[in-house]
Amino acid sequence: MSGKSYIVTLKDTVPEGEVSKFKQFIDSLGGAITHEFSLIKGYTVHLPEALHIDKLKDGFGSIIANVEEDKEVSIQK
């Protein structure tokens, strides 16, 4: 699957109905939720390469707390 993955965290106060709309929107863009976190309202979202994360922010910016590209991190020795 070509594209990029992002970790998207929603605000704690977001009602479940808005969360469902968010998930449907991801699907309608040709994306996929590849992981759902259990302690926070957070998701790993895979979006097609041609689709920029701003499209997601434009549609649901009011309920999104944070977006980061999902990538490997390391510490320096």
Rounded to an integer, what distance in angstroms lies between the CA atom of residue 3 and that of residue 14?
27
**pLDDT for 1:** 60
Successive 10-residue mean pLDDT values, the chain, 77 residues: 89 95 92 95 90 81 92 84
Q: What are phi and psi of 65, to 5 degrees?
A: -90, -35
Q: Is residue 67 part of a domain?
A: no
**pLDDT for 7:** 95
| CATH assignment of the domain containing 49 | 3.30.70
The neighbouring-strand residues paired with 66 are 9
Name the residue range of residue 52's domain: 4-61
Total domains, the chain: 1
Stated pTM of the model: 0.85
Rounded to an integer, what distance in angstroms lies between the CA atom of residue 8 and that of residue 67?
5
